[in-house]
Amino acid sequence: FGPGGKREMNKFSFSVPLRLLLGFAEDYKRIIVNVKQELILLRSATDANAIISDDAATHTLKITNLYWRVPHISVSDLFRAKILRQLKKILQYIYRLDHGSCTNTLYCRKLNVNHGL
């Protein structure tokens, strides 16, 4: 069946939910900020492994359209600045933990941070 629901000879369309192909998309419900996402598909030079038939050599598979549907959220500049400030605080804290300048000894021990004690 084609995109309009009409039966077309030698053409078909289907959709595959991303959660079936990629494990991280199965239950990931959080927002990813300032990250470019790409989907790279590698295809064989021949259609031999894509078609199961007695005369598979005579058939070809041609991909005409491919859609990458990922919901995007547009936020206001004020909210974007708030998110980036929070992210900056988290990154600064992680940097301090990595470089051994953690001041809360009990918390650092819980995180297994070697801070020179």
Dist CA 110 CA 112 (whole Å): 5
Q: Could you read off the pLDDT of 86-101 as tens digits, one per residue?
A: 888 777 777 666 666 5
C-beta of residue 1 within 8 angstroms of C-beta of residue 51: no
CA 76 – CA 5 distance, rounded (Å): 39
CA 33, distance to chain mean position in Å, is 12
| Domain span at 83 | 18-110
- Residue 43 inside a domain? The answer is yes
Q: Is residue 116 one of the residues assigned to a domain? A: no
Distances (CA, A) of 38 to 41, 85, 88, 109: 10, 26, 25, 38
Domain total of the chain: 1
- Tens of pLDDT, residue by residue over 20-61, are 777 666 666 777 766 777 777 787 777 777 777 777 667 777
Residues 96 and 108 sit within 8 Å (Cβ to Cβ): no
Note whether residue 76 is domain-resident: yes
Q: Is the residue at 12 inside a domain?
A: no
Is pTM beyond 0.85 here?
Answer: no
